[in-house]
Amino acid sequence: MEFYSPSKKIKLMRKKFRVNQADLESVNMTRAFISMMESGKRNVSRASSQKLVSKFKELAMKISVTLDIDDEYFSRQPEEDARQYIEETMNINNSNKELEELITIATDFNIDDLLAKIYEVYGEKLLAEKDYLNAFMKFRLALGKYQEIGYFNKQALLYKRLGFCQERRGDYEESLYYFKQAITHSLEESNFEIYFKSNLNVAIVYAKSKQYIKCIEVLDETILNSGAKVDNTVFINAKMTRATALKQLADPRALKEYLDLMDEIGDTNDLILSALYNNIAEFYYKIGDFNNGLKYINKAQALKIKVNKMTLPTTLNTKAKLLLKLGLFEESTMLFNLAIDMAEEYKAFDMLFESYKDLAEVYESKKEFEKVSDTLNKYIETIDYYNIEYGKGYALCKLAQVSAIEENCEVCMDMLSKIEKYVL
């Protein structure tokens, strides 16, 4: 994409319509004046641009051509045209190639405010596509550029986006850092929507990293007992996250909190209800009531197929574990494999790891060590493809154990050398 100076535009347009300067004369715009504008000796004012546009459109009509330019076209400098082009073109539906072109234009013309916006839009696009690594990189560029130009009103949002990307990639330590930054900046910006959502995100990360007491403390202090006006969806999700933390701590209050939430929601929100069914099933699994667990996991599966297929990997994983406890080995391994396929499809990397790990443990319990190795090697191959580290240390450690059991010293030493990165 090229953008021309006012003088160059006049010259190119004359050439396009094969007219001379005299053909463009009008009241208060002589051939000599047109010549000076075309040579760059005189600036093209908005009034002069309007007259030139009018003349060229008359010429276009005579040959049945539509000339789509606005009245200020000839008065705009290249950087102004570049800015207008970016503003009119940029949106989340642009292809990656189109956004890269806009980045080049904004960079070439030093249009830093729009460059930051392009990075942000690009990040949102990649996030919607679940390309979390590249989305993270674009959001970080957007944040840096906004900070560079002194525009600080987007910091809370972008830190939250950065935290979300890292949480999805399984990097919980980094995600906590970014979510906490989002909380700090949300208070500076008086953006309480991001404040409460980011605190919920922090609690969820604590839960995912098995820091359940911290999870409950954050929820109680910042959302549930804060006394502040909190969005109802955030409040309900906070309650559900708290109940899940209690469940992981084997606290019997978890079931009561889940059932209370079911009564509160009724049939008004199938999305949350499907998650509640899943969590209740997991609670029953944890206390050894596998038949009740199966009843609720079937409810969760039926509802999620309708409203939330992206979270089906979690449901299938739980159902597989329940079936295994009920002695249905073949059905269980089939569901673990289905959970793995769906987790990869939806890029749910935490559940991808859990299902591979659970499947490997099933094979290990049957002393089918070759299948354990095949399963974990496939997991490593998959996460390497997506540039993910989550769970890799565990997989390498387990592969080292299996190779030691099978007295394969060469493979064992190779795995141990790779593990050093994760333990030192």
What residue type is assigned to position 41 of the chain? K
At the topology level, CATH places domain 323-424 in 1.25.40
Would the CATH topology of 231-307 be identical to that of 323-424?
yes
Per-residue pLDDT of the chain (424 residues; tens, 9 = 90+): 899 999 999 999 999 999 999 889 887 889 999 999 999 999 999 999 999 999 999 999 999 998 999 999 999 999 999 999 999 999 989 999 999 999 999 999 999 999 999 999 999 999 999 999 999 999 999 999 999 999 999 999 999 999 999 999 999 999 999 999 999 999 999 999 999 999 999 999 999 999 999 999 999 999 999 888 999 999 999 999 999 999 999 999 999 999 999 999 988 899 999 999 999 999 999 999 999 999 999 999 999 999 999 999 999 999 999 999 999 999 999 999 999 999 999 999 999 999 999 999 999 999 999 999 999 999 999 999 999 999 999 999 888 888 888 777 877 777 777 776 666 5
The whole-angstrom separation of Cα 384 and Cα 392 is 9
CATH number of 231-307: 1.25.40.10
Q: Which strand (E) or helix (H) includes residue 32?
A: helix 31-39
Residue spans of the domains in the chain: they are: 6-76, 231-307, 323-424
CA 225 to chain centre: 30
Cβ atoms of 186 and 212 within 8 Å: the answer is no
**Per-residue pLDDT at 423:** 60
3-state secondary structure of 88: helix
Task: Give 214's contacts (C-beta < 8 A, 6+ positions apart).
Answer: 206
Structure tokens at 129: 């596509």
Task: Give 106's contacts (C-beta < 8 A, 6+ positions apart).
Answer: 82, 86, 112, 114, 115, 118
Whether the model clears a pTM of 0.85, i.e. scores above it, the answer is yes
HSE (side-chain half, CA atoms, 13 Å) at 293: 22
**Per-residue pLDDT at 420:** 67
**Per-residue pLDDT at 405:** 83
Structure tokens at 352: 């991808």
Helices (H), 149-223: 155-168, 172-188, 192-208, 212-219
Cβ atoms of 72 and 63 within 8 Å: the answer is no
Task: Give 258's contacts (C-beta < 8 A, 6+ positions apart).
Answer: 240, 243, 247, 276, 279, 280, 283
